[in-house]
A and B are shown apart, each in its own frame.
Chain A
Amino acid sequence: MRASPANIASAVLTYGFVGLMAFLSVFPFIWMALGATNSSIDIIKGKLAPGEALATNIANFFTLVNVPLVFWNSAKVTIFATVLTLAVSSLAGYGFEIFRSRHRERLYRAMLLTLMIPFAALMIPLFIMMGKMGLINTHIAVVLPTIGSAFIVFYFRQSTKAFPSELRDAAKVDGLKEWQIFFYIYVPVMRSTYAAAFIIVFMTAWNNYLWPLIVLQSNETKTITLVISSLASAYYPDYGVVMVGTILATLPTLAVFFFMQRQFVQGMLGSIK
């Protein structure tokens, strides 16, 4: 491309715009990292340089919060939700493809309709249900309503269309039962589909807030998002401590994202094809 003034101007404009957007997107992360090293007063003043309060902030965070317990609570909820959601949804995703009932598409469409149901309209009945089952304040109550996910079933069914039917036919000729085909052939072949779904479900479960806020009422069961929120809503929040907390709450999802970025983007793309 020639370096005419118009081209230079458009390049400056383009790079200026995406550069600014990228900066604005990343800035809160930088601010969070710097904040963890500064005292609350310096953070409020808007100090944008590393400070010396990191050790103090971490120590204060560990005094205020039972970190191992809170992390364990979050991990428990996230792992159960992720494993069970993937199991149930991939079974259904595969099931909808091999299903020979004339009700198949009707059932599938009815299931997709539930994507439209807002959570606000479910939370009161769900709360009463959990109460009747004696599950308030348990992690089972947090996980249970999230396992059946129409979106993840949809995602698995879309991806199953790419699963080669020759593999299935060959396995049948060899006398494998349907569940054996699923476990020994489908699951290993669909690894990348599982990886992408894993990231989506993991992030959703780790970051879940409203429903845990309702069912987890004692400090012994609270997850990290609930704890960060209550630290920050104190009358005089210690922002240094809050920053340490937000970093710890964000690290697992950041790590998952960076390690599995390719699958994540593919997963997002797969869901709209």
Chain B
Amino acid sequence: MALARRGGIGRYYDVNGWLFVAPALGLIGLFMVYPIFWSLWMSFQAGRGMMMKFAGFANIIRLWNDPVFIKALTNTMTYFIVQVPIMIMLALILASILNNPRLVGRAFFRTAIFLPCVTSLVAYAVLFKGMFALDGIVNSTLQALGIIASPIPWQTHPFWAKALVIIAITWRWTGYNMIFYLAALQNIDRSIYEVARIDGVPAWARFTHITIPLLKPVILFTTVISTIGTLQLFDEVYNLTEGKGGPSNATLTLSLYIYNLTFRFMPNFGYAATVSYVIVVFVAILAFLQFFLARERDK
């Protein structure tokens, strides 16, 4: 074993071990750890472009008086609170249906529902923009079916623009979450379901009393992943609403606001860094909650 002895005090250094992990740790350190501290330092500075000077808590105070920030924060939270539960429920129901080996054509259904994951965020956002145009196919279909009387202004009405973003992300990510549940379901002994079925437990009760409790760790995992994803939402909103954040900022997200502050408006790196730290804080809180819940479960 390639252990090098140093200093003669009996301490061993694993040269190979270090060499194997060094490139990855070096890159992560340089492009993730170092920038995250840099942006923390930046968030205490103010100024235009590269002319920055220490500003204490001025940026943080500015947050509370910035209606655009409040709007972006509210929108991001709305997406998170509305979209994540819808998607997780949908993915769970689909996974438990498609886990049934008696279902005819389940390979086809799985592939079909998973397919959206393969597209790029930009390509599907562009497709959705066309489909949900005022005179687009969705409105004309809904009108032909008699569900709506007049076309829905999906891209110009604050409420519908948000709904469109939610529909779009749900379309893209439900299959992705479903795969995780299918994987976890395969580790569950199918005889549990058979016994329950023979005992006359109805499908819905099997779902709520067997599937959900057994999948709890995976549900937590996907919830955290989706939460982080939603907090970082950018591509869809940027491409569905022409980069502006929708009618009067109705779809603006925190990430898009940071982008605007940095690259669209007069660059204000310090304030943009402060806004980005709001996301860091939220991710940290939610991650902590997840660990907390996981610990509670182990008790």
Contacts and interface: CB of A to CB of B under 8 A. Distances in A.
Nearest to A128: B269
B272 interface: yes
A210 B203 CA distance: 43
Contacts of B277: 121
Interface stretch (A52-60, A146-154, A187-195): A146-154
A207 B137 contact: no
B21 A124 contact: no
Interface stretch (B63-71, B81-89, B229-237): B229-237
Interface in A108-156: 111, 114, 116-129, 144-145, 147-150, 153
B12 interface: yes
A30 B59 CA distance: 48
B32 A117 contact: yes
A100 B4 CA distance: 11
B159 to A, nearest CB: 21
B130 to A, nearest CB: 5
B113 interface: yes
Nearest to A225: B122
Given A25-B175, A26-B115, A44-B130, A272 B184 contact: yes
Interface string B220-233: 01000000100110
Given A26-B112, A92-B25, A268-B183, A101 B17 contact: yes
A107 B25 contact: yes
B292 to A, nearest CB: 15
A250 to B, nearest CB: 5
Interface in B119-153: 119-131, 133, 135-137, 140-141
A25 B94 CA distance: 13
B19 interface: yes
A95 B3 CA distance: 14
B28 interface: yes
Interface in B1-35: 1-3, 12-14, 16-21, 23-35
A96 B133 CA distance: 51
A96 B28 CA distance: 15
- Looking at chain A, what size class is its interface with the partner chain? 35 or more
Given A18-B97, A98-B16, A119-B232, A46 B25 contact: no
B175 A239 contact: no
Contact of B31 (A145, A225, A257): A145
Contacts of A147: 27
29 contacts: A17-B97, A28-B116, A28-B127, A28-B128, A28-B171, A32-B127, A45-B135, A89-B24, A95-B16, A95-B18, A98-B16, A98-B20, A99-B17, A99-B18, A99-B21, A100-B17, A114-B33, A120-B255, A124-B39, A124-B269, A127-B262, A148-B27, A148-B32, A150-B32, A210-B238, A214-B263, A229-B126, A229-B238, A250-B123
Given A18-B103, A125-B35, A250-B119, 19 more contacts: A18-B94, A18-B97, A21-B113, A28-B131, A91-B20, A92-B25, A119-B232, A124-B42, A125-B39, A127-B262, A144-B31, A148-B25, A148-B30, A207-B119, A228-B122, A228-B123, A246-B123, A246-B126, A253-B118
Interface of A: 1, 10, 14, 17-19, 21-26, 28-29, 31-32, 35, 43-46, 48, 88-89, 91-92, 94-96, 98-101, 104, 107, 111, 114, 116-129, 144-145, 147-150, 153, 172, 177-179, 182, 203, 206-207, 209-210, 214, 225-226, 228-229, 232-233, 239, 242, 246, 249-250, 253-254, 257, 261, 265, 268-269, 272
Interface of B: 1-3, 12-14, 16-21, 23-36, 38-39, 42, 90, 93-94, 97-98, 102-103, 108-109, 111-116, 118-131, 133, 135-137, 140-141, 171, 175, 179-180, 183-184, 186, 203, 218, 221, 228, 231-232, 234-235, 238-239, 242-243, 254-255, 258-259, 262-263, 269, 272-273, 276-277, 279-280, 283-284, 287
